[in-house]
Structure 1
Amino acid sequence: MGVFTAAAVQMRAGTDPARNIEALRSGVVEAAGQGARYVQTPEMTGALQRDRTALFAMLKAEADDPVVAAASALAQEHGIHLHIGSTPIAVENGRIANRALLFGPDGSLLARYDKMHMFDVDLDGGESWRESSVYQPGADVVIADTDLAAIGIAICYDIRFPELFRRQAVAGAQVLTAPSAFTRQTGEAHWHVLQRARAIENGAFVIAAAQGGKHEDGRETYGHSLIVDPWGRILAEADHDEPAVIVAEIDTEAVAGVRGRVPNLANARPLGHVRRHPDGLQTVDDAAGGAAS
């Protein structure tokens, strides 16, 4: 572990996996050409498809998925760690996993993670999403211990659940990830602050490759792929929604430095039960070892 170049590939994935694989290949070649040893792509690299029937028709199991095969080959060809932010994978019971996959420089699969938190929301303007109606949520917190860094893996909406990233940081993750297909509406409001907050509160790098622009299935995503340092500074950004590659230097020693200056991970204490009082009086739960105030 030490210093390495990381890249985030911003995409505008469509409904055809074959075309998306070509876009993936182009982005990886560009990133590797800039010296990247870790390359991340967005959520749903393989396909963005709102039509449920069409989505199920293109699905493959992981062992047969063309995006998985292409990613493994690209990682080996360029000698890089290639992190597919996610792609839809057929799983049991007629469901789909929104699955992230990390490949090593020899093309081997180092880690997989299924998106844990389902984007079930009703936004302004009638925009509505129900991921839980199609996708099977994951259950495991995943960290990949690589020779570059300990990398915590998450996907998109997970970024709104800080306890997931705290678990990863406490377990030693130095780089946190949030490859995404953020809607334009939520991205304009929250994208930057969420990525920076997860970096600051955990003293970790955050890398978030994003989908951007108007997609074939009608959705519109925000773009603005980011690489953020442990102090919350933006090291690199695609400040638009067009396909792009951004790179930044990751120095894992900076993680220890920031956590030493602001040791909030070490200083955290167990929390007692929340108690409410109609007169507004605050008390400290006895189980937490405190006295009433």
Structure 2
Amino acid sequence: MADSSAATAAVSGTVAPTMLHELLEITAQSLVRAEVTEHYEVIRELGRGKYGHVMLVTHRQRGTLMALKLLPKASTKLHTFLYEYCVALSLATHPAIISMFGIAIESSQYYGFLYEPALHKDLISIIKPRDGIPEPAAKHCAKQLVSALEFIHSRGLVYRDIKPENVLLFDPDCRLIKLTDFGLTRPKGTKLKLVAGVIPYTAPELSNTTDAQGVPIDSSMDAWALGVLLFCLLTGYFPWEQSLPDDPFFEDFMLWQETGLEKDVPHHWKRLTTEAALMLRSLLALDPAERGPVSRVLSYIDCPWRLEDGHSEEIAVKSKSQLSMSQE
């Protein structure tokens, strides 16, 4: 079990790279080396992704219900595993971030760590294509995500992986949700290059980067991804497939951002209220220096976000832009 005092120190102020490094070293020395089935009974799989999978388990002696994330050693560097675990551990005190049990294990085939299970799955499981989720639930999500992201940013970190699959549900109405998966979280100012394909959540400054040294990241990238996520919750589809000028949906959005004219509002944005459109235009400002902070959302919480007659309007959207398509 990792030293809890180190975790406490990590959340007491800005999480600097040196502090994370210290927590990494402590955790590396305290890894529990054991086969999973020695201490835990596997109940079922909770989820599976590109880099690992999550199992619902119980502790054989205590009977505690837990989620166990397993990362194959064959494809996962020890430092990569330790980094994700330590970042998650350092942020776990926030009510909208997944709670950790402080146990990191190493088996013959896997690295793993344990956290609280979310038995209502994740946000992607309740988003209806071309419909989204009920507006009250969307607002519950928005308030909690803003709080979690502000907490992460106050620690000098950028989350970098906002998407429905990483928002775990603890009730069907989204009154309690929690962020998970911190493998892509990095300190503010870290220079990053686009190493994978552009997806809807990718901020345009990263999508279009030509700098071989990469782009220094900051909280504005999380604001962009939050804007895309909120659009998905309210409509049931992505606003575009790629944040690149050759995507016709993104091209329409760029024109609207430039003019701000009612006649230039993209067709599939017209089921949103004026207030919701203003909120999202702020989060999705093309220039990161002009992009509103995630807290801007709170100014619009008491406003209506979706038009009542939105379901009656026929909206032409490419099927590949809908949420039913898996986005890595």
Higher fraction of strand? 1
TM-score in terms of structure 2 length? 0.26
By relative contact order (CA 8 Å, sep 6+), the higher-ranking structure is 1
